[in-house]
Amino acid sequence: MMEFGARPTERTLLLAAQFLHKELPIRIARRALGLDSLPFGLSTKPAILKVRDWYVESFRDIRSFPEVRNQEDELAFTQMIKMIRVRHTNVVPAIALGVQQMKKDLGGPKAFPPGIHEIHQFLDRFYMSRIGIRMLIGQHVALHDPDPEPGVIGLINTKMSPMTVARIASEDARAICMREYGSSPDVDIYGDPGFTFPYVTPHLHLMIFELVKNSLRAVQEQYMDSDKLAPPVRIIVADGAEDVTIKISDEGGGIPRSGLSRIFTYLYSTAENPPDLDGHNEGVTMAGYGYGIPISRLYARYFGGDLQIISMEGYGTDAYLHLSRLGDSEEPLP
């Protein structure tokens, strides 16, 4: 993507549009069919049906678009897939709402029947494919920016500063914490401010935001009724030979060992009363449906990285975000 988009021309953009015209309907159709055959009644939940309709509508839009032959066609096609990307913005919370509806119908986590892990496996595949689709569309649309920032190729910032992204994501997470609790622990960031590497800035922002948000909530609730000052959340950025690793540490009491295996599933949330996404609660909340951590791991794995969570119950939690350098990765084909 970096080589192809470094110097976009009418010809390369036309070739990219022709590829997307053939490839996107295949990926979108697979996702729509998958939503039709989910176990435990999940396919019949209103939120899931809404998502399926989005995918079917997008499939029809692309399939009905004539063959892309020239620059005029390419520009029209780009505008259409840009609108498709917008249409699918709320897929993740909508599916999370459908899973929440299914959990209520099944009687909660304690009443889960055997085979419930099939839901987790499907959602891992579904969300990973969604990341790929949005990356392909977003990269093509972004290459039409007439005035890109220096070093930015589509969605990829070839000189991204993880320290800067960590600071902005932490500020965003603290703002949510302030809104929810009226105060927020500090976030201390350690690393080389001058260090940069190629990565997709929105992906890293999402991952750090979710992890810091979880840490802030844990610390805030741990020290809410205490006279002691809440300790800061610490972020350490390390530049290794193979990976860039970002460690996020908190003293929020940790996660019980029995709960560690569940934090990467879509059927577990640390929130006692998850928000209702039918329109009664708007905006980001401190704890929702429990998809922040598993989705963050998928974003890390998309470019060959990973996310590990290590907890010390009674003290706190460390999250290790391993990021591979983009030049050594290939875009997966879901």
**127-175, pLDDT tens digit by residue?**
999 999 999 999 999 999 988 888 999 999 999 999 999 999 999 999 9
pLDDT score, position 260 = 86
Alpha helices in the chain (DSSP H): 2-5, 10-36, 46-63, 71-87, 91-106, 117-142, 162-181, 201-222, 257-260, 292-302
How buried is residue 224: exposed, middle or buried, by Cβ count under 10 Å (0-12/13-18/19+)? exposed
Give the CA distances from residue 211 to residues 34, 44, 143, 177, 290, in Å, rounded to whole numbers and listed in that order: 29, 32, 30, 13, 12
Task: Identify whether the C-beta of residue 62 lies closer than 8 Å to the C-beta of residue 87.
Answer: no
Q: Residue 271 has what pLDDT?
A: 52
Q: Which run of H or E residues covers position 238?
A: strand 233-239
- Orientation of helix 10-36 relative to helix 46-63, angle to 10°: 140
Alpha carbon of residue 276 to chain centroid: 20
| DSSP β-bridge partners for residue 306 | 322
**pLDDT value of residue 198:** 94
Using 50 as the pLDDT threshold, list the residues of the chain that sit under it: 272, 274, 279-283, 328-334
Q: Residues of CATH 3.30.565.10 domain(s) within the chain?
A: 156-324
Look up tokens 């259409």; give the residue.
80
pLDDT for the residue 196: 96
Residue ranges matching CATH 1.20.140.20 in the chain: 10-153
Task: Give the model confidence (pLDDT) of 295-327 as tens digits.
Answer: 999 999 999 999 999 999 999 999 999 999 765
> Contact at 8 Å (CB) between 48 and 124?
no
What pLDDT score does 9 carry? Answer: 86
- Per-residue tokens: 280: 């009664």
Question: What is the arrangement of strands in the sheet containing 156-160, beginning at the earlier edge strand?
Answer: 152-153, 156-160, 197-200
Q: Are 128 and 69 in contact (CB under 8 A)?
A: no
Q: Which CATH class is domain 10-153?
A: mainly alpha
CATH architecture of 156-324: 2-Layer Sandwich (3.30)
